[in-house]
Structure 1
Amino acid sequence: MQVLRAVVDHGSVSAAAGALGYTPSAVSQQVAVLERETGTALLERVGRGVRPTAAGLLLAGHAATIERQVAEAGAALADLRSGRTGSLTVRYFGTAGAPLVAPAVAAFRRAHPRVRLDLGMTDPEDPLTEVLDGRADLAVVVHPRDTPPPGLRLVHLRDDPYRAVLPTGHRLAAKRVLDLAELADEPWVGAEPPGPCRTVVLGACDAAGFRPSVTVDTGDYATAQGFVAAGLGIALVPLLGLAHHRHPGVTVRRLRGPEPVRTLQAAVRTGAWGQPALAALVAALREAARR
């Protein structure tokens, strides 16, 4: 059809052949094939030249439309491959939202305004399935550094150590650093929902030689601090969980022996690694975590 369009535009087979870099015979053969396929005449001779029939004009017009659409598709594909356009589905957990994901997304959107982001919360008990299934492109998760799941690539963002949260006036509040074992006999307020964060806390307690006695299970850092402030127990809360809300009725102390630390990672499918827009978002997350 593009050969036909060239003949229509240039008014003769020989002129079209010169423009396309073909021989006149090759151009005539291409037009003849198209006439057989369509079952109608597309050109008629007029003196030394040719002019299109109504069918020829119709197909030449469609050829121009197809050529324009192919060019537009090529430009769109180039934009997508370069990371200038497209869409990314991003999942994250609550305490990573404000201090980490929000500034990263803001920076990413300034640099990539034509890339659409779909942001949502992860399943706290199963944060990686959406990425593995292809329903999300990236998830900010808590996961150990040395055990990447099959099919995923993990990018370390930051370590987030836990702190002991005590009622103001607690007997241990005078100490600057607490051994985790010193909290073994205390009533505990559970601040973590089931999932990898709770596993970090319980693993540290196991290493310190005890299992905490949880009297209230909140699954929420702000609520847990309220119960601690009321004197109902102590809690462990990571630094990011204290970043935007610290109850005035609690005292926060560092821990050791061991210090529980959760590791924040960006999880990306191995097959998607290297896509420009995705790589740019990972870089923005790393920069936000660094700051």
Structure 2
Amino acid sequence: MELSLHRLKLLRELRRRGTVTAAAQSLSYTVSAVSQQLTLLERDAGTPLFEKLGRRMVLTEAGVVLAEHAEEILASVERAGVAMEAAQGGVSARLTAGVWASVAAGLLPTALTALSEAHPGIELRTKELAPEDTADAVRDGALDLSFVIEYSNTPLEWDPALNRQIVAVERMHVALPPGSELGDVVALADLADRQWILAGPRSQFGRAVRRACHHAGFDPKIGHEVEEQATALAMVVSGLGVTLVSDLGLRLLPPGSYIVELADDFHRTVWVAYRASSEPRASLQLVIGAVAGAARQLGLAADPSM
């Protein structure tokens, strides 16, 4: 019996996610493509792996057994890659990282330039995801590493299947319409009567800002619910409201932006998440080091001695 690693990965996702649709979404495939590959896996296995339960496809007993072994097989393949990388005289690897706009604009250009000069054998590819989705994509094997946000007032529940390393700590700033006269430092309480432009409460950013405002004694008046930070900042410049922006987000400012310091103790930490293993990959640690170095150049290191 010869089994495709790619199809085993799809089987693992089906077991984790519960439905073919969810498995397909987690790996950015179409439902039909996943269904076709799972059918081929069942043919290769020579025994029924799935059965219909209403409109759902569920695992048979044999399917559950194979899915459990798929976890071990895929983990062994990853460990083999780590061992081969360690055995090489020079580090050579291709990694894929989950990013979002402010990290891509603020940290990656400097980090990738330094990485290419010091370790040209390492190729880092990126995939933009919502910050809320990046850790899951690493855990599920779709990414090698990802950038993860943790707000000071909204601690993350960390997955024990993942390791993390801190690379930056960002302050939060207030973006005001041009002509606002609130001084060089503004407290959240000073913005209680203002109209806000803010991401929805399902996003980490939207939830954390709402919580910070509530702690300051008010609930923000949301005039415009906007998920993209660049769009929100453009609306602020047009005089439609106020919002908050992090240090890295300052790279996205449109012309005419008016930014002041936030008086409240509200910040966010940027971590790099990667799968836990017995031995960390040398290439991955070099990437993390390059990103931390870029953060240090911007004055965003958690520890100035990093």
Measured against the shorter chain, the TM-score band is: 0.5 to 0.7
Q: Deviations over 1:41-85 (max 9, x none)?
A: xxxxxxxxxxxxxxxxxxxxxxxxxxxxxxxxxxx9366655622
- Tell me the number of residue pairs that the alignment of Structure 1 and Structure 2 aligns: 212
Q: How far apart, CA to CA, are the structure 2 residues paired with 1:243 and 1:120?
A: 19
1:215–1:143: structure 2 CA closer, same or farther, 3 Å change rule? same
CA distance in structure 2 between the aligned counterparts of 1:179 and 1:284, rounded to whole angstroms: 34
Structure 2 portions without partners, runs of 5+: 1-82, 298-306
Q: Does 2:212 align with 1:204?
A: yes
Matches within 5 A, 1:1-291: 77=84, 84-143=91-150, 147=156, 148-172=158-182, 175-190=183-198, 194-248=202-256, 250-256=257-263, 258-271=264-277, 274-291=280-297
Q: Does structure 1 conserve the Cα–Cα contact (< 8 Å) formed by 2:85 and 2:281?
A: no
What secondary structure, in the 3-state scheme, does the structure 1 residue paired with 2:131 have?
coil
Normalised by the length of structure 1, the TM-score is 0.65
Q: Which has the larger radius of gyration?
A: 1
- Structure 1's consecutive aligned runs of 4 or more residues displaced over 3 angstroms after TM superposition are 76-83, 144-148, 191-194
Native 8 Å contact 1:83 1:276 kept in 2: no
Question: Relative to structure 1, is the Cα distance of residues 109 and 79 closer, same or farther in structure 2, using a 3 angstrom cutoff?
Answer: farther
The corresponding residue for 1:7 is none
Alpha-carbon offset, residue 194 of structure 1: 4.4
Structure 2: distance between partners of 1:269 and 1:178 = 40
Paired residue type of 1:245: L
Closer, same or farther: CA 80–139 of 1 in aligned 2, 3 Å:
farther
1:195 Cα deviation (Å)? Answer: 2.2
Question: What displacement does 1:245 show?
Answer: 2.5
1:52 is aligned to none
Distance 1:290 1:111 in 2: 17
* Residues in 1 aligned to 2:235 and 2:241: alpha-carbon distance in whole angstroms: 7
Percent identical = 31
Q: CA RMSD in A?
A: 2.5
| CA contact 2:176–2:242 (8 Å) conserved in 1 | yes
